[in-house]
Structure 1
Amino acid sequence: MEAASQRVLLAIDRAEPIVVVGDYDADGATATATLVLGLRRMGATCQFVVPDRFRLGYGLSRALIEELLTRTRKTNTPPGLIITVDNGINAVEAVAYAKSEGLEVIVTDHHLPGAHRPDCLVVDPHREDCSFPFKTIAGVGLAFYLLIAVRTLLVKTKPKAQPVRIDDLLPLVAMGTVADLVRLCADNRRLVQQGLVRLRQGIAPLGLLAMFEAAGRDASQAVANDFGFAIAPMLNAAGRLTEMSLGIYCLMEADPTRAKAMAEELRELNQARKRIQQEQSEQALAMSQLMLNEAPESNLLVVSHADWHEGIVGLIASRLKERWGVPVFAFAPSRENPDLLKGSGRSVGGIHLRDCLARVDSLEPGLLDRFGGHAMAAGLTLERNRLKDFNQRFNQAVKELHENSGALLAKGCILTDGELRAEQLCLESALALEDQVWGQGFEPPLFENHFQVLHQRPLKERHQRLRLGLLTKTGEPWAGEPLEAIWFNAPPTVETMLHLAYRLGVNRFRGWPELQLEIVADLRNEQLQ
């Protein structure tokens, strides 16, 4: 970090053009916006570029550098320094090409390195010589820490200058951290909490505030779930369906009118994404049901469809993982090359997806065109006619790496925190839980109770709004007020007596907080622990 921050400060002093190379997910987008905004405040000449996921694929590549050089040479403004965020740790060939063209590169990435490291300055907590204790930091967190390091050097070298403000960028750090599903270690929880504190006070980029307004969320009452379920999906929709530049420009926009217009465009893109996802997820659920009927002992799923959208397969994998409780890879044809499949995976506890893909690559070199990711989410590209081979090798890798997989829960197994007493089912309990920072590795409590359905009303997209009566342990109705509940992706028909797993939520739809149970599952159909 020290060497990287010194090189960035040198670029600022020399007025060298800096180009930040981002990624097309929420972590990469927030990291890009955070670094560009912060460096510009420190006097840098700084722009950004994000690869087109359909044409160029993920991360720093030779093709991306060639396009960048072609464009900047026309204006006689070639970059003096490239900084990657949320990518680059495995871009060995791309960095070598950049150096051959006279470009310097700093890689900031939080992904696991491969066998070889790029020949440049590398900031990655997974380096074998890195003493940074929080290995699960998101890409945006690394970008923010690089800003802190550069700002610290500026203060030391120019003590009379007024230090620039960067704490208002913490809401972006919070969103990227939550959206990337990194484990909420102490450092990540601290970043998210501090971002939420500032966001609630309106201390945040205008574009982010505009996105809250477009999503119908109150930034002054923001909680971590707002990032994960409302704002980040809007941002990700740009990367999934078109390109992420729109989302990054929105986050960086200083004009309220333009920020509001871009936020509305992101909202509309997200609505289109939802429609595509709904249709294709239904296909995937039906497909996976048949697969598990034929092989009920299977502990993973690999699904593919010729008509699926490559920008949606990660969401399909996530939906199937939630439904079946097993690791899932979903594939769609590449838009640029139909002979290739783009795959995205989601995992469960005990199955490290990136390690599994590395094992697949070692079992059959050349099978995977490219791959990368984390423990819980990963992506890859392979030839269309090699899907069956991948399925076999993936099964083999999972078995080899997890022979003693006590950490791998049985399919459909749900862990709960037990029952709540009647007096605990109240708005005060929900508000107290809402005020905490929950996320990956620090899940919000999941409770269970028996209920009687007093009223149900179907909503769009297979959701149900319920009014429930709490039942005592003996099955007798509780005399208190009925409880309002919502059940996303509910079954078409809901029976009268239910044993439900749920979370305590807060509904502010009418402008004031009300208790709302958020149904997760009917435990009569699940394994319970």
Structure 2
Amino acid sequence: MQKKIVRRVIESPELTDGWEQIPDFLCRAYRARGVNSLEELEYTLARLATSQQLKGVVAASKILADAVRHQRRILVVGDFDCDGATSTSVAVLALKMMGAAAVEYLVPNRFEYGYGLTPEIVEVAKQFKPDVIVTVDNGIASCEGVAAANQLGISVVVTDHHLPGNELPDAAAIVNPNQPGCDFISKATAGVGVIFYVMSDLRRELRECGWFAKLSVGEPNLANLLDLVALGTIADVVPLDSNNRILVEQGIRRIRAGKARPGILALIDVAGKDYRNLAASDLGFVVGPRLNAAGRLDDMSIGIECLLCDDPLKARQIALRLDELNQERKQIEGEMKAHASVLVDELNQANSSSDQAELPWGMCLYDETWHQGVIGILASRMKEKFHRPVIAFAPADDECKELKGSARSIPGLHIRDALDRVATRHPSLLSKFGGHSMAAGMTIKGEHYESFSRAFDEVVREELDESNLEAIIVSDGELAPHELNVTTAELLRKAGPWGQNFLEPVYDGVFDVVQARVVGAKHLKLLLQVEGADLLIDGIEFNSDWVGKESQLKKVRVAYRPDVNEFRGRKSLQLMVQYLEAV
């Protein structure tokens, strides 16, 4: 699709001393992302927000400390995505590190139970005979499930980060930075970050009551779990505010030093990556998908066991199984994406035009053969292709009486609020829903699909205008010829952590095309010459729209990320092309 490259407008605040030590291209990138002080780039644990700022954390700590001290049974109820898996692992490992004698976990199978602490899951949970249930990465909407647990005499501690509804569950304690009345500075904290903070405060509570002294053991170093926190934070695509950047950077440093969990190191290894050069993007695009594949196609317990495993050999065996599941997921995704493209063409056939203006602004797609575990990825892919909010649906049962939907949004539309507006206007259309500004999940009745599709499109059209549907690539400007080298690429790679709302820098420039050829059937390999210079640079665009038309490319404007290509011990600059257009 046609895109527009727009360069960032950088304000010029008065900068503190020390900025002259940073290369100009990196200085521009930081300033464009709102960093005005070098202190903001000091990703030390001392600069983390304290757990005491979290509403409900003290109450949660007291309940859990009492359970630890009296050897009560604790059950962690997690979610079936990467944030949920890492959250579950942090909770289980931290509780055991602090002396809890009976800690188990339960993750609902998405195909049987769906999301969250439902009454049905409480029925399963009671088989573990827990005294306390701790939800991680879920629970803020589990009013009925918490009520069911209360009736059984089970205390529930909710730890979550999703946006709350109008009613909060009647839990013994709720820790969620987005709950009413919470002044925690980082509203963007992922589920794994929330439970990390709860465990940190639990350690304080146990210290103050003399628990560690009684056991004659030292306090556990919870920083050893930051590799899990970094993985869950990046994989959940939460905004990387300053607090999240500290958590992620500290976790990445542990991974690069080889001090990560054996399961994380194994997942990196089976993907063919070197943990010593790991970047935040590798957590999102390499490790996260392999872990998520378990929850999408099978049972997330496989992924959690990989993260909990202390034996490197066993961890590798599990990682290989996860890699197989990820390959299977890719195949299913490819088939669904091809089918979805046909459905979009059918939506557009009325005018026999490929003009995207003819498409719904809020696009709903559904087929009864689609896999429920892959619709989130499908929605994301179609959102990227057509640059509009997309909801992909799949059957929740064999008879298609209920449909599960996964939504992905674009800047300008808060997807959960949009669903809330649909639910307010049409109370019968949505059985349940929840999520964030950019992603959400929902359940609807199969008979309501057409009505819901129209209602969703109507709300989206009210919230957006045509300019929102124009795909824009925001560039950090042009790199000078002397900046186009391996040193620049390596500096940028380690200058993050980059992620949501703190995006890795993208640059643009005009190049002469010396050679353009297709590799892997759908990727475009380029040899580019810097305009007005004798510098030749390799570039690659994955899944290129120019495949089959590459001979037309003579001079191009390219939006790219500098990267290092290493082959047989030799490093060279390679441009990872985000978009190119003929000029």
Q: Establish whether residue 490 from structure 1 lines up as the match of residue 544 from structure 2.
A: yes
CA separation in 1, counterparts of 2:385 and 2:582? 15
Q: Which amino acid aligns with 1:233?
A: P
Contact 1:325 / 1:413 at 8 angstroms: preserved in 2? no
What residue in structure 2 maps to residue 433 of structure 1? 492
Structure number with greater CO (CA < 8 Å, separation at least 6) is 2
Q: Which amino acid aligns with 2:201?
A: A
**Alignment of structure 1 residues 366-377 onto 2, 5 Å:** 366-377=428-439
Q: Establish whether residue 328 from structure 1 lines up as the match of residue 380 from structure 2.
A: no
Q: Establish whether residue 467 from structure 1 lines up as the match of residue 524 from structure 2.
A: no
**Alignment of structure 1 residues 353-364 onto 2, 5 Å:** 353-364=415-426
1:101–1:508 Cα change, 3 Å? farther
Q: 2:252 aligns with which of 172, 193, 196?
A: 196
**1:345 Cα shift?**
0.9
What residue in structure 1 maps to residue 445 of structure 2? 383
Q: 2:165 aligns with which of 91, 94, 114?
A: 114
Q: Which amino acid aligns with 1:490?
A: S
CA separation in 2, counterparts of 1:168 and 1:513? 32
Contact 2:516 / 2:553 at 8 angstroms: preserved in 1? no
Contact 1:323 / 1:412 at 8 angstroms: preserved in 2? no
What residue in structure 1 maps to residue 402 of structure 2? 340
Contact 1:448 / 1:501 at 8 angstroms: preserved in 2? yes
CA separation in 2, counterparts of 1:458 and 1:317? 27
What residue in structure 2 maps to residue 475 of structure 1? none
> Alpha-carbon deviations, 1:22-74, whole Å to 9, x = none?
001111111111111111111112111100101100111111111222x33xx
1:413–1:81 Cα change, 3 Å? same
**Aligned-residue identity in percent:** 40
Moved more, 109-118 or 385-394: 385-394
**1:294 Cα shift?**
6.9
> Alpha-carbon deviations, 1:246-304, whole Å to 9, x = none?
00000000111110100010011111111111121122234335535376154332111
What residue in structure 2 maps to residue 165 of structure 1? 221
Q: Establish whether residue 299 from structure 1 lines up as the match of residue 372 from structure 2.
A: no
What residue in structure 2 maps to residue 75 of structure 1? none
CA separation in 1, counterparts of 2:177 and 2:471? 34
Q: Establish whether residue 47 from structure 1 lines up as the match of residue 84 from structure 2.
A: no
SS of 1:296's equivalent in the other structure is helix
Contact 2:361 / 2:461 at 8 angstroms: preserved in 1? no
Q: Establish whether residue 424 from structure 1 lines up as the match of residue 478 from structure 2.
A: no
CA separation in 1, counterparts of 2:289 and 2:489? 24
**1:415 Cα shift?**
2.2
Unaligned runs of 5+ in 1: 73-77, 473-477
Q: Establish whether residue 123 from structure 1 lines up as the match of residue 178 from structure 2.
A: no
Contact 2:160 / 2:176 at 8 angstroms: preserved in 1? yes
CA separation in 1, counterparts of 2:343 and 2:523? 21
Q: Which amino acid aligns with 2:510?
A: H
Q: 1:275 aligns with which of 324, 331, 345?
A: 331
**1:508 Cα shift?**
3.6
Contact 2:564 / 2:574 at 8 angstroms: preserved in 1? yes
CA separation in 2, counterparts of 1:323 and 1:209? 33
> Alpha-carbon deviations, 1:339-397, whole Å to 9, x = none?
22111111111111111111111111121111111101111111112111111211232
CA separation in 1, counterparts of 2:318 and 2:181? 42
Contact 1:324 / 1:411 at 8 angstroms: preserved in 2? no
**1:337 Cα shift?**
5.1
1:274–1:442 Cα change, 3 Å? same
Q: Establish whether residue 479 from structure 1 lines up as the match of residue 545 from structure 2.
A: no
Q: Which amino acid aligns with 2:311?
A: D
1:524–1:467 Cα change, 3 Å? closer
Contact 1:17 / 1:46 at 8 angstroms: preserved in 2? yes
What residue in structure 2 maps to residue 502 of structure 1? 560
Q: How many residues align?
A: 510
SS of 1:246's equivalent in the other structure is helix
Q: Establish whether residue 155 from structure 1 lines up as the match of residue 216 from structure 2.
A: no
CA separation in 1, counterparts of 2:71 and 2:565? 50
What residue in structure 2 maps to residue 518 of structure 1? 576
Q: Which amino acid aligns with 2:313?
A: T
What residue in structure 1 maps to residue 472 of structure 2? 413
> Alpha-carbon deviations, 1:138-161, whole Å to 9, x = none?
000001101100111122222634
**1:190 Cα shift?**
0.7
1:305–1:221 Cα change, 3 Å? same
Q: Which amino acid aligns with 2:163?
A: L
Moved more, 9-18 or 497-506: 497-506
Contact 2:363 / 2:457 at 8 angstroms: preserved in 1? no
Q: 1:452 aligns with which of 501, 512, 534?
A: 512
1:153–1:508 Cα change, 3 Å? farther
CA separation in 2, counterparts of 1:397 and 1:268? 40
Q: Which amino acid aligns with 1:60?
A: L
**Alignment of structure 1 residues 233-252 onto 2, 5 Å:** 233-252=289-308
CA separation in 1, counterparts of 2:390 and 2:472? 16
**Alignment of structure 1 residues 17-36 onto 2, 5 Å:** 17-36=73-92
What residue in structure 1 maps to residue 185 of structure 2? 133
**Alignment of structure 1 residues 49-64 onto 2, 5 Å:** 49-64=106-121
SS of 2:539's equivalent in the other structure is strand
Q: Which amino acid aligns with 1:62?
A: P
SS of 2:240's equivalent in the other structure is coil
1:296–1:81 Cα change, 3 Å? same
CA separation in 2, counterparts of 1:202 and 1:28? 24
TM-score, normalising length from structure 2?
A: 0.84
**1:467 Cα shift?**
2.2
Contact 1:60 / 1:94 at 8 angstroms: preserved in 2? yes
What residue in structure 1 maps to residue 377 of structure 2? 315
Q: 1:79 aligns with which of 109, 130, 133?
A: 130
Contact 1:55 / 1:336 at 8 angstroms: preserved in 2? no
> Alpha-carbon deviations, 1:121-169, whole Å to 9, x = none?
1111112111111101000000110110011112222263410122111
SS of 2:204's equivalent in the other structure is helix
Q: Which amino acid aligns with 2:493?
A: E
1:274–1:414 Cα change, 3 Å? same
1:442–1:295 Cα change, 3 Å? closer
What residue in structure 2 maps to residue 208 of structure 1? 264
Q: Establish whether residue 144 from structure 1 lines up as the match of residue 201 from structure 2.
A: no
SS of 1:368's equivalent in the other structure is coil
1:468–1:108 Cα change, 3 Å? same
SS of 1:415's equivalent in the other structure is strand
**1:471 Cα shift?**
2.5
Q: Which amino acid aligns with 1:450?
A: V
1:245–1:459 Cα change, 3 Å? farther
Q: Which amino acid aligns with 2:499?
A: G
